[in-house]
Chain A
């Protein structure tokens, strides 16, 4: 029987049964993995597909999380109605983050500017206590969906699963279209992309906005999952986590974003009972994967069967 890509649908269908097999704590870890799948998918658009060394991801993540929390606590809007607006706020932040790149800032210069953006946002969360609770943080009331309170991890899991599926399908459609090709053209040779009538400036803004939208939604999910936001959750360690997800998974690969999120989120949890080991194992896993699979876990899966070959994962 010839396998087609429709077998990917088996993954979320099989995942439906997951809550039957895991305890609430493990369910929480699985939910966190789903948050990081969304974060990885969004981050990869700018880094893996557009090829820009831009680290504004934590800013988008924090902005999405705080936007969702503020809409819920200050305006009394139910959480599920804040998911898309959190994405929109993330997209606006994405447009702002694309300005240095539009001005021709590239590589390490872009990296440091976008890092500064993330730190500026963290400073803003601390300095606006009326909105964000300042350094004390902000408690997010339990998410509500049509009067159904998302209190248990299982309930959150099903809602998150739907969000992840919608985002993965939507981003995959965009990346496999002329828009995705335009992103990769810019990554490969910006001058040649413009010579092919690709309006490169517009595609920079689009990629950053799309990334901000997706990661903003990830932030909204994170707010609903952890229930309490504090500025230190959006620091450089968070960025290292995001970067590790896409590097370990495979730059530019959707499948890689999923695999990277699973491995990077689950590894420290597996060693939680041995204090000190979680950080050590986190580092060891990154080193081993990058050393032996420089194109990430996605390249390993691609060897198993061609259908796992991400269209935009290039193997050397």
Chain B
């Protein structure tokens, strides 16, 4: 006699459920449970099985996971801010005020700002933990290098976001920051070796053709700078950091999962 099935079981074996979740039915064995995780694009990002030590907070501090979690918060809050913020000299500053004073849940802008600070802190602590536990050693040395790139991209995201409020703090911070680019070897017009890239009296690396110019879109900070930083902050750098994050997470698994305490 066939066992009477309850509603949930019938749903789980129905066409709708099985067409969305591959494998079908209620997982009954260890293997089926594993297949459910492996067959879901979201679940498969996490390992099917973890060694006990890998979930010990004392060992991992969960700083890598927290960094990613904060990145998600920043992505969502950042997209929300884009609905109100206009990257022009005329509107940028007042739109930030508008976001804080008038738009419902003005704390959204603060969430984005606090999140940015928090992510820099968690990324540093994550690197500190990885260093102190020796988790950068082979076979994980390449993933450490990826991590250094991710740190750099995190800092660049902070740097580009810094300008967007277009207040005195923002402008002078970027004035100082972009002036450092003048001294880039070969590529900055005041840097060592820049004078070598010349034919006779014609310099190729000038104030209007060096790496600082490419960064700020002009010889002085202005409208072009704000727009460039906005595009880099909202599209360019997030795109690059997501590619590097994908490689970073994939390599954790391929290099044998979270390293073991000694």
A and B together in one complex: no
